Amino acid sequence: MSDYSYPYKDAEFVFNELVGFDQLCEQAGLEEVNTELAFAVLEEANRMGTEVIAPLNVVADREGASLGENGVQETPGFKQAYLRYVEDGWAGLGFPEEFGGQGMPKVLATAVSEIWQSCSLGFSLCSLLTHGAVEALLLHGSEELQVTYLHKLVSGEWTGTMNLTEPQAGSDLAAVASRAVPEGDYYRVTGQKIFITWGDHQMTDNVIHLVLARLPDAPPGVKGISLFLVPKFLLDENGEPGQRNDVHCVSLEHKLGIHGSPTCVLSFGDNGGATGYLVGEPHRGLMAMFTMMNDARQAVGLQGLSVSERSYQQARGWAMERLQGTRSDGTRYPIIDFPDVRRLLMLMKSGTEAMRGLAYVSAAEIDRSRLSKDPDDRVRHATRVDLYTPIVKGWLTEMSQELTSHGIQVHGGMGYIEETGSAQFYRDARITTIYEGTTAIQANDLVGRKILADSGEALTGLLQEIQVTAEELIQTDDLSALGHALAEAVTAGTQAQQWLLDHAREDRNVGGAAGVNLLMLLGYVCGGWVMGVAALKASGQLAAGAGDSSFLEAKQVTARFYGEHYLPRAVACLASVQAGPESIMALTAGQF
Ligand SMILES: Cc1cc2nc3c(=O)[nH]c(=O)nc-3n(C[C@H](O)[C@H](O)[C@H](O)COP(=O)(O)OP(=O)(O)OC[C@H]3O[C@@H](n4cnc5c(N)ncnc54)[C@H](O)[C@@H]3O)c2cc1C
């Protein structure tokens, strides 16, 4: 057993008051799904997570995966846990019933993923990558590929990987050099991919790699990259894994955190070429990858929340037990009585609540963009998903760097010692701002594709909605300070956007210099929005004498704290945005 438990009360509040889960399910025609069912599912997931997965997290950190004669051997205990995860039907929760999934809304699948990720980031990554592969096949695979591979990927009997990165091609995928040469109705794939998460293991009898590579006639750059499916074992006439394909893990990376997740160097074609099958159209592989990135990027954003929540729960427990102060009568009191320890815990508590609100609201937007009956509605929600995606990925993961660091600080010296586990959360969190596109890449996406491309229309719409909430808060007696702080942050967002629109075309460094500050500014604003709405709803319930008054009062305090300690950062970000690229670009490379 672990001391972690899913924060049901906060999650239920988000489902009911921010997401409108029952209404979402009703509108989507999912009549049998509702909040009651969702929380029965979440309770089961919490049981599985805390009893089976969380106890392996420390083993994963200390022993991790290793490379042997048969390829990668995963962390001891992971195989049994994974088989149970598959047997209990967790892998297909959010996938279409047509391929053996359970067709549950994305927002519920997201909440369940929070549990797996809080229990063990390294373990949960295997499913995250499989999800990516499933999404890619659902959106771009031929009927034959879908029929052949999707059922077993959806059920989790096979796992999937995403093979983009090569030594010379990281953020810049235009430099991908792996090759695929046609041979009959398949292709021979050759090349080396690095940093491939869960690129090999012994938990399942096949691993399905999705690989970016170039055809012989490919034009240079991003427009010449195609996507291929390359199974570890080729399928025999019965569709079962048979002959070994020419793809092998040649080494494992030693890394700062997530030791439970094997990070592989994969070599394709050492013996003549791995057999691969084209996914989607030739030369359009990168576009295919991009269409599934909203999901994968939001899933990594969720990792930021999940690891921060785990770190918070541990810090909270420590702060209640660790005695340091001495009263006048000589008795000692716990460190949670010190204002600064409380400040750290409040940063963690209000930060994670804002992150959860935003992550679930954003997942619900994905649902609405897919399930809404009205086509115009679907487009409207899809536009919001596009805008949220870099913010959810960038802001939540950057926040997790700060929050898991606070988790260590609350522990004092014991936080720095591995024994407490707090250091692991900090180390595990570190990768989240790097993979699936670094924060700078998210910021480029936000600035270029989400703001400049539509001259700020989508963001203006979002900021106007947030301003309505700010005004509602201002009208109240007890939450008006929060309302003013939110309104100032919205103004900062509006000014930052306008500054960008006014200057971006003058100098190509403007967007790159402003991007991350703008992304963080909008993260604080969106977090303030969900906290503001939550505070208003809590007030309403308290006035009506409904709900759990202790939880609702705490929610109001947490929201007020957010207004005092996080929202002013939006104004600081604005100053850095408006400072422009001059001092950033002024030094010559030699002056660094
Ligand atoms: C543990 C781990 C697991 C991974 N899993 C996978 C996986 O499963 N599949 C896979 O394909 N890849 C995977 N990756 C690779 C990961 O996605 C890349 O590391 C990441 O995209 C960054 O690329 P890079 O490491 O080459 O860094 P670089 O691209 O060299 O970036 C270095 C620095 O330059 C900045 N930079 C680069 N380009 C720009 C730009 N255009 N604008 C502004 N700043 C820029 C970056 O933000 C960063 O700060 C994994 C990596 C790790 C460490």
150-154: list long-range contacts, CB under 8 Å, 24+ apart.
150/99, 150/100, 151/99, 151/100, 152/206, 153/208, 154/91, 154/92, 154/95, 154/96, 154/99, 154/100, 154/101
Type of residue at 73: Q
- pLDDT of 289 over the 90 cut: no
Residue 433 in contact with ligand 1 by CB distance below 6 A: no
Residue 197 in contact with ligand 1 by CB distance below 6 A: yes
Mean pLDDT, residues 551-562 = 98
DSSP 214: B
- Residues acting as catalytic residues: 436
**Which residue from 115, 291, 149 is spatially nearest to 233, judged by alpha carbons?**
149
pLDDT for 197: 98
pLDDT for 561: 98
Band of residue 291 on the pLDDT scale cut at 50, 70, 90: confident
Residue 165 in contact with ligand 1 by CB distance below 6 A: yes
Residue 494 in contact with ligand 1 by CB distance below 6 A: no
Its sign, for the CA torsion 520, 525, 530, 532, is positive
In angstroms, rounded to a whole number, what is the distance separating the alpha carbons of residues 571 and 16?
31
> Within 10 A of 245 (CB to CB), how many other CB atoms are there?
24
Type of residue at 320: M
Q: What's the 508 CA to ligand 1 centre distance in angstroms?
A: 22
Residue nearest to atom 48 of ligand 1 (CA): 438
Q: What's the 305 CA to ligand 1 centre distance in angstroms?
A: 21
Q: What's the 166 CA to ligand 1 centre distance in angstroms?
A: 10
Q: What's the 271 CA to ligand 1 centre distance in angstroms?
A: 29
Residue nearest to atom 35 of ligand 1 (CA): 440
Residue nearest to atom 7 of ligand 1 (CA): 196
DSSP 7: -
- Asked if 53 and 113 count as a contact pair (C-beta separation under 8 A), the reply is no
pLDDT for 292: 75
* pLDDT tens sequence across 520-541: 999 999 999 999 999 999 999 9
Residue 198 in contact with ligand 1 by CB distance below 6 A: no
DSSP 243: E
Type of residue at 362: S
- pLDDT of 221 over the 70 cut: yes
Here the tokens at position 97 are 């019933």
- pLDDT of 331 over the 70 cut: yes
Residue nearest to atom 44 of ligand 1 (CA): 440
Per-residue HEC secondary structure of 554-592 comes to: HHHHHHHHHHHHCCHHHHHHHHHHHHCCHHHHHCCHHHC
Q: What's the 49 CA to ligand 1 centre distance in angstroms?
A: 30
